Each structure stands twice: as C-alpha cells, then as structure tokens.
Chains A and B, each alone.
Chain A
Amino acid sequence: MSTDITEEPTGQAGDRPPGRRSFSVVGKRSRKYDWHAKLTGQAKYADDLSLPRMIYGRLLRSPHPHARLLRIDTRKAGALPGVFAILTGQDLPTKYGILPSSQDENALAIERVRYMGEPVAAVAAIDEWTAEEACRAIEVLYEPLPPVMSIDEALADETPKIHDWTRDRNIQKEVLLEFGDLEAGFAEADYIFEDEYFFEGNTHVPMENHAVVADWAANGHVTVWSSTQTPHYLHRELAKVLELPPSRIRVIVPPVGGGFGGKSEAFSHEIVAPVLSRLSGHPVKICLSREEVFYCHRGRHPVKMWIRTGVKGDGTITAMDFSSTLDGGAYGSYGIATTYYTGALNTLPYEVPRYRFRGRRVFTNKPPCGPKRGHGTVQPRFAIEAHLDRVAENLGLDPAAMRGHILVKPNTWTINHLRVTSCGLGDAIEAVIERSDWTRKHGRMRHGQGIGLACSVYLSGAGLPIYWNPMPHSGAQIKIDRGGGVTVYCGTSDIGQDSDSMLACVVAEELGVDLDAIHLVTGDTSLAPVDLGSYSSRVTFMAGNAARQAAAQLRARLMDVAAETLEVPTDRLAAAGGIIFDRQDTARQLPFDEAARLAEARFGTLGAVGSYTPPRLAGPYKGSGVGPSPAYSFTCAAAEVEVDTETGELRVRKIWVAHDLGRALNPTVCEGQIEGGVYMGWAEATIEEQVFRKGLHKQPSLLEYKIPAAQDTPDIDTVMIESDDPEGPFGAKEVGQGPLAPVIPAVTNAVYDAIGIRLTSTPITPDKILHVLEARRKRASAAV
C-alpha cells in the first residue's frame, strides 16, 4: 500500500457509509491545491488579467459625506482624448442590495450622496491616468447636507434623515425577540448584573484590493472576472441591474487575495465595468485603490450594547436581556442580518433558559457596514464574555470553571430554537486551562500582568439562503476520466481559505485516490453548479457534503465493478491511494484507473452530481431565519498580557486557543485559519479602529489604519478539538471565523486581571489604559 492508513474504530456514525474504518486523505497534512502558483507568483488575480484591447475604468467618488447631487456635467471629461465612455447614476437606475429587504443602493448615486467615497460617475479610458484625469474633469454640483456621523447623532430628535423612508429618525430596523418568561427568570436569580459596552467599527483589509475585468462581447455575452466571495449573488445582481437574462452573464472568480466578508456583495465597480465595456466595445478593467477599498468597507459595525443577566450563585444563568444598537453606515448591505446576528447566538454556548433581544440598526453618513469574519456575533460575544468575567469574579468563581459548568450540552435545542449537535467546548476549555497554566496564573500574576479567558460559538453555514428559494445551497458535479483523473466542478469561491483543497480532500477521500488525481473547476457560474458563496463559514459543510454526495455515487459504481472483478463482496472493499482492495486480503487489489475504465464500460460516462440543502431548522417566529445552522463550532481562548502601567502599552504575550472544528480535514490549513482568526481578533482588541473626523474616514491607508505587523503578533498555541459532527463531511464543521471572537474578550479580561480595571470598549489602546489608570490614581489621592 502506498498510502498510510490510520485505523479508526468508528464506522457507523451518521451518514458515514457503513464499513468505513479509516481515512487516507482526511486528517493528513498536505499543501494547498494552488500552492505552487501562489508561491511562484503565477497565480493570476483579477488585477493580473489582461485581455486584448482592454481599457481601464475608474470611479469618481463623492467628496461629501452627505449632499444633494444637483447636477453632473461630463462634457469636458468626455471630450478628453483617450476617454471612451462615461456613466452617471441615471444610466443605471435599478436599485440593488444583497438582501431582498434592502434594495437601496445605486451603482452610481442618484440625487443624493450618503457617504464620502460613494461613487457618482464612472469613466473608461485608454489608461488609468487618463481615467483619473477624466474623473477630475467631471463637474458635479452638490448641495451639502449636515452629516450624521454617530449612533447618537442618528438618534437625536432633530437628526437629518439619511433615507427619506425611515419612520423614526434614522432607524433602519428594530427587532424584538423574546423567549420564555424573562420576569420569572430574573425573579429566580440570586444576583443580577448589568453592563454596557461599545465595540468600535473596523474593516477587513484583505491583502488584495478589489478588482474586476468585464467583457461585453459582440454576441451579447457578458463575462465578469471579479475578486468576489459570492459569484452567485453577483451574477444575480448583475442580471438585475443590467436588466439582462442571467443566462447571458458569466461570473468567473480568479484567485482572490482575501475577503473576510468584504467581497460578499455586488459593488459599484463590478456593475459599471460591464456597462463601460458595452459602451466602449472594449474589455474594461477596474482596480480599486486601497483608499477606495476603505470606502467599499462593509466591515464590522460599531455597536453599543447593554446586557442584564440573572444568575444563581454557581453561575447558572436564569435570564438574559440583551440589546444592541448598530451603526450601519449609509446603506443596508447585510445590516438587517447583522442586527439579528448580534442577538441570535447569545443563547450559546451557555444555557440561557429565558432570553430577550432588542436590536436596532441606524443609518449614518459613513461607508456601509456589513459582514466581517464572525458577522455580527463578535460584538455581543465581547460584551457577554467580559460581562461573565465580572459575574464570575463577583460570585467568587473561577471564570473558566464557571463557564465549564454552565455550558450547553450536545444534542439539545436552545430557547430560541437553535439545534446543537456536536459540541466539544468542554474539552476546549480544559485544553486551554491546561496548556496556559491558567489555574496557577489567573489572579496570581504580579501587577501589570494578567491572563483572561473567553469562549464563543459560530455557525457552520447559515441555515437559510440570502434570498428565499427551495433549491440546494451547494451543488457539485464530478466526472472521472479514463486515466483515473477526477474533475470536480463546484461554484465555490476560494478566497484563500482553501476551499479548493477542501473539495479535493473530500472527493479524494471518498473515492480513495491521491490528491494529485483531483482536478478542480471552481468559481465559475457557467462551468460549475451553484454554491452560494464563501460567507457564514458554510463552504466546507455544504460544498463538502455536496461533493461527497456526488463522489459517493461514483464510488458505488466503482465498487460494483471492483467487487465483480476481485470476486469480493462490496462491503469488504476499501479504497485508498488510487487502489481498491479487499480489507481482509489486501493483496487483492484493483487500480482505480482500471476500475474507472471497467465502470465506464459498464455504466457509461462516469459523472455524478451531488447537492446539499441544510435541514429545516428555523423556529416558528419572525426573525428565526438568522441563527440556525446545521452545526456550530465552539472555541475557547486565553490571552496572557503585560501592561506597561507607565506608558499604557499593552503587549499580548501569548494566546492559547482550542477550537472544536468537528474534524480537521487538512490540519495545516485548519491551523492557518485558526491562527489567522486569532490574529484578527487580537488586532481588533488592541489596535484596529475605523474612525471618522469631519465627515471623512480619518485614515484610509495602510500606514495609518493600523493593522499589526508580524513583530507585534503574539505567540499562538493552537489546539484542534475533533468532536466529529454527525452531519459534517467526515465530521467537519467550520474553522474560518469562530476562533476570532473569543480572543477580544479574552484580552479584555486579561487586562482586568493585570490592572484591575475593566475596559468596556474596543480597541484597548494605550491612551485608554493611561486614562483609566490616571483616573484611578486621582480617585485614590482624592480619597486620602
């Protein structure tokens, strides 16, 4: 046998085919599918694409955060040599938006601009320089309106309305969900705690700036290459705004240099590029500058939160009342979903028998907020875990032990109808306690040093699609060629998270071939079946299951012919490393490619499709669509910090993280995802903030919007907990987003352990630390 087979005594759990005893690919460390292209610079990102006769587009953006758009005169710009086409808002009147309930954006603003950086016109020209000159030559007459720049301003009595349709001030949406008898819950409590928190907004900062190439061919076929996480949704929105039959549009996703949620909906440049191509008769490329990426945003909402919890003396929660106000920026984006997400997962990972959630989202004159890694759950998680740390302290309980005590149990339902299947959080907490030497450190380190801990939960894919439809969330198609090559077609968008290798791994495992035998066609709306996109940590679970389902059908055909040829019953057969063999007499073998030829002769061309639709889990109440997931991942993290009490500087020395991902399909990649999430969480906890001054983004550059560098990054100790989910592909759940959330409260709680002061807003900057230390010193000296 060429491949090493780990014997594993399981076999019958869940949908696992009977008789499956071991893994040959799953769980093995391997390189990413496209490692070579990326390492050698051969990977062609959208910006690397070049088509014959291609020209360049650019967007003119509003200099005002809020203004009426009185007139646009493009004549001078149009007369410049080298300018091919110019578009303004009137050319693209159809509104769009990622959520059916928030169709509120125009590709180019009409009548009103609502944030500084909002596109108002687009130009295609012979080169980028000329396009930029042309943008400057466009004359726009604005009537500035007073901007609304914060939650408080948006809720002020006299606030100017950003969207005329809002009924109450600038409130876009208000939600109220109540489960169980809250009053009774608080009456039952031994203690009641109440706190307020603020989470500052921040943005994704993917390495690759957004870029698009569009070609409107003479035959009316439109091809769009775009760095997007959601080719299917882009496809739909293009059809809507361009008013074209979707059958004429093809969206292709080149390798994407990171998204983190920031490339999950259609953007102006993606919509105007094909139109500029139609008008000019040339393919058009638009690459955004880093500054423009800050204006696209759709990042983490700033959120004000209030929480009230009733607890028993042992920490058991009797009731929780939670409210959030989100600063949504100028448009809807995913915001209504985000609003629900600030409430939906708060009944996990601890038992919350009675729960009320009140949430609202307001409009402000800032770039629209949307989903960033951990979508809407990161802010409340910060609040809840910091709050519980205070609860534990007041009850005289160890915060880690208290959490372990109040955890949800596997295979249960929460009060708001979330179904929990596998849950390895208990093991995760234990791993973190042990590896971080928690018990010896917590509350026992010298002043200025501390350790803190927190837990979190995340979805393995949203249970419902973004637009209602009864179709699968993910589809895959597999064909096997006569040489034993296996090609997988799936509409997934690999944004660096390595969904490509995930598909290869699942299919290789199912068919018993090496990874080398797998070829992939992904991220193409014409060549591959729909996958809804790389968001909500859904791809491994959903596309993985779809691909596996397709592969299982082919496996059955191959096993049939192998059983016949080897004269062994099918249930004794196994496949690994490109060989089908008898498990009792491993010398009886049939090479995979030979089996493929025999099967093709017998069954005809070897192809199969698979699809995945999540189980219907939503509860019987309005708003129940946000929260359900076929499986939840769980994380525990601890952070050890050192605070320089003179300078206020905070050093996070080490972060321990244990993440229940069901199964690590490729441990190396999973660790990478966990470390990436931890890095991002720690950055949000300590330094990142998207702030505005005088109506403008204060720091739209990588020099001044601080994302930490390698030197700053703490040591990360990663543990993967394999709870083997009954419905995940080979037991796998999500790993891409969950590990971020607990890091922020873990750091916050560690700062409390270090200096004895609870900080209630992010990021924890040296300035904030010095302020609270000085205030305490003043209080102390006033008391003398």
Chain B
Amino acid sequence: MALLAEHGTDAMLMAGGTDLLPNIKHRVATPEHVVSIRDLPELQGFEVSEHGATLGAGTRLSRLEHDPQIRRVYPALAESASLISVPQVRAVGTLGGNICLDTRCNYYNQSYEWRQAIGFCMKRDSPICRVAPGGDRCWAVASADTVPVLIALRADVEVVSGHQERVLPLEAIYQDDGLEPTTLTFGEIVQGIKIPPPHGYVTVYQKFRLRQSFDFPLVGIAVSIRSDISGIVAEARIVMTAVASYPERAEPAERLLVGAPLTEESILAAGNAVFRQAKPMDNTAGTIFHRKRMARILVERALRRIAQLPETMQRVS
C-alpha cells in the first residue's frame, strides 16, 4: 500500500504477472514500478467447505484446478481454472489476476511496432478504435475464465485500500467499457472472494477455443440453476465471457427459464435468447458468425448437462 502511495499511478500491481508481463512487453502497460503482491499473507486465504468458500486473491489457478475440496464443492470453478492456458501459466497465475485481467483485442495485444503500424488504438495511444472506427468506445473483450463461474456462483469480492475494506457482489466491479473494465479505483486491491454455499445449485462452465490448450476463450458460458423439488427452475444465472467487454449476464435467457422445468423446448428457447443477445466483435480469433452460434450451443449444452439430457441434439442430418 505504502509503495503504491509512494509511486502513484507510475506503479502497477503484479500478482503472477502472466497477464501484466506480456502487456509490458507489448508496451500497452508501461509502469515505472511494479509492486509484487503475489505473496502478501492477506491474499492467501483458502477455506472451502459445504458452507461456502473464502479464497484469497493470491490463490494460484493450479490450486483452484486441483484442490479436492474445490473440485467437490465447486466443480465448475475447478473446471474453469483447468481450462486456462497451460500448466506453467496456471502454476503462477492467480485468482486475483484473473479477476482483474485486462480486456483483450487483437488490435491491442500486439507489439509496439505492430500497433504503431496500424496507427495505435483508443485503448492505448490513439483516439480511434480499430474495430469500430466510427464509435466512441473500446470493445476489447473480457476474457477471464473463472469470472463467469464466480458470478454464476453469486460470489462477493473483498476489496481493500489502505484501511478501508468493502465487500460487494463480484459482478458489480465490472463495467461495459473495454478501456476500464473494472470500477476499482487506484490503490484498491482485490483481497479475495467469498462464495456462498453451493447447496441446491448446479453450476456448469463451457468454453470454446480453437486449441485444447493455450487459448483464451472465444466464448465461455457459465450456467447456474436452482430448481425446486418439483423440478421447476427457481433461480437461473447465465454469464457469458469473451463476447463483450464485461462478463455479461444473459438475463433474457435467465427469465425464460425461471418458473418452468428444464425441457428441450425451454433449453432451445434459452439458446435462442443467448444467440440474439451475444454480440461478439471481430477482435479475437475465430469469426463472429461462429462465435455467436457457439454461444447458443454452449448454453444449450450446459443446460442439458444440468437437466441430465443427452449432450447434443442432432440438429443437422
């Protein structure tokens, strides 16, 4: 904290550095000082049981992936962590870094020379967005894999600054702005997250990427459903990653599901709603055409898994 105060906005926090260091190499992050918070004792909390979890921001992704308690109580969280990049990155990358991951764009995650050649972009060094040059905003993509799952699990985030501490729903720190993806102010540190008990909820994460390792999600969908004893959906959360500048709730689809049992029809309806809502831009790998369709298919597959229906429906013959 003192270091941050001393160096002001010349300093940046670094946990595992797996996001920050590539950004420094590309000169999209140019801190004069880097303050390592990876080993701060305050960020190392780790308690998991049926009654909920408190996870420090310093928790390594590999621990989320492998910890037997997480795998038992919050399997979707373990799954989402296991789908991040490669084992080497998971061994150093942290939960806090994943929560605060910079938004991504293939006009932005490029070397200085490359960005210079295209004339830079709004997110760094120019007033113009290369994806939507007419517009006045940045469409860089929220690309974290654990975040949609944590939001689906209704997690809260603990944010500290100096002696202040605030706890708010994780969802509330994100905003639809590729330039400033979180509302955290300078000097605020994510200390950890709190996840309520999983009881009654079934949560599933589905990720699409072109290779089975390395790749950031081109679409990621977390779905969490609580049904009453008669099988009627009482609560539904659907959170999309990699199709917008923030982890986007698929509220129209959620509303369609609540109040009825999960059936082929309701699943297809939810899929359609997600298809209509998801508006990926042409700034990641893959194509808009395909990613939009993947959003629908992933949400359908997640719901089918929850409803214990067969994995796929043969749409095409």
Contact = CB atoms under 8 A, between A and B. Distances in A.
Partners in one complex: yes
Contact of A696 (B109, B118, B214): B118
B289 A709 contact: no
Interface string A570-595: 00000000000000000000000000
B117 A696 contact: yes
Given A447-B317, A699-B285, A704-B285, A63 B116 contact: yes
Given A773-B316, A777-B316, A706 B113 contact: no
A645 interface: yes
Nearest to A708: B211
B317 A709 contact: no
Given A63-B117, A646-B316, A291 B289 contact: no
A712 B110 CA distance: 25
Interface stretch (A553-561, A742-750, A763-771): A763-771
Contacts of A64: 117
Contact of A709 (B106, B111, B211, B293): B211
A706 B210 contact: yes
A770 B113 contact: no
Contact of B315 (A645, A697, A701): A645
A703 B214 contact: yes
A448 B130 CA distance: 39
B289 A770 contact: yes
A128 interface: no
Given A647-B297, A706-B285, A711-B212, A694 B118 contact: yes
B85 to A, nearest CB: 9
Interface in B83-113: 86, 106, 109-111, 113
Contacts of A481: none
B26 to A, nearest CB: 9
A648 interface: yes
A647 B294 contact: yes
B93 to A, nearest CB: 14
A647 B86 CA distance: 24
B314 A645 contact: yes
A307 interface: no
A645 B316 contact: yes
B186 interface: no
A767 B286 contact: yes
B161 interface: no
A654 B130 CA distance: 41
A687 B211 contact: yes
A700 interface: yes
B185 interface: no
B290 interface: yes
A767 B290 CA distance: 5
Interface string A57-76: 00001011000000000000
A686 to B, nearest CB: 9
A701 B289 CA distance: 24
Interface string A697-735: 111110110101111100000000000000000000000
Contacts of B86: 709
B290 A770 contact: yes
Contacts of B286: 766-767
Contacts of B212: 709, 711-712
A512 B312 CA distance: 62
A712 B211 contact: yes
Contacts of A766: 210, 286, 290
B201 interface: no
A374 to B, nearest CB: 23
Interface string A769-780: 011010011000
Nearest to B314: A645
B208 A647 contact: yes
Contacts of B317: 447
Interface string A423-456: 0000000000000000000000001000000000
Interface residues of B, number: 32
Contact of A687 (B117, B118, B210, B290): B210
A776 B286 CA distance: 22
Given A61-B113, A709-B212, A646 B118 contact: no
A765 B314 CA distance: 20
A700 B107 CA distance: 11
B287 A767 contact: yes
Contacts of B208: 647
A696 B285 CA distance: 15
B293 A770 contact: yes
B113 A767 contact: no
Contacts of B110: 700-701
Given A646-B312, A706-B285, A711 B213 contact: yes
Given A687-B210, A767-B286, A704 B106 contact: yes
Contacts of A646: 297, 312-313, 315-316
Interface in B111-128: 111, 113-114, 116-118
Contact of B289 (A447, A644, A767): A767
A116 interface: yes
Contacts of B315: 645-646
B170 to A, nearest CB: 26
A716 to B, nearest CB: 17
A648 B118 CA distance: 32
Interface string B224-237: 00000000000000
Contacts of A703: 109, 214-215
Nearest to A702: B214
Interface string B301-317: 00000000000111111
Indicate the member of B86, B110, B315 with the most A CB atoms within 10 Å: B110
Contacts of B293: 647-648, 770
Contacts of A697: 114
A554 to B, nearest CB: 50
A268 to B, nearest CB: 15
A708 B211 CA distance: 6
B237 to A, nearest CB: 23
Nearest to B130: A694
A700 B290 contact: no
Given A767-B289, A773-B316, A291 B211 contact: no
Nearest to B300: A646
A644 B290 CA distance: 13
Nearest to B298: A647
B272 to A, nearest CB: 14
B46 to A, nearest CB: 29
B77 to A, nearest CB: 21
Contacts of A647: 208, 293-294, 297
A155 to B, nearest CB: 26
Contacts of A116: 117
Given A647-B294, A711-B213, A696 B114 contact: yes
Interface string A639-650: 000001111100
Contact of A771 (B113, B213, B289, B314): B289
A446 B294 CA distance: 23
Contacts of A645: 314-316
B312 A698 contact: no
Interface in B188-212: 208, 210-212
Contacts of B294: 647
Nearest to B216: A703
A645 B311 CA distance: 13
Contacts of A61: 113
Nearest to A136: B112
B316 A709 contact: no
Contacts of B117: 63-64, 116, 696
7 contacts: A291-B111, A646-B312, A647-B297, A687-B210, A696-B117, A696-B118, A776-B316
Given A646-B312, A711-B212, 15 more contacts: A63-B116, A291-B111, A291-B114, A645-B315, A646-B315, A648-B290, A696-B114, A700-B111, A703-B109, A703-B215, A704-B109, A709-B213, A712-B211, A712-B212, A712-B213
The 4 closest A-B CB pairs, nearest first, are A63-B117, A711-B212, A767-B290, A645-B316
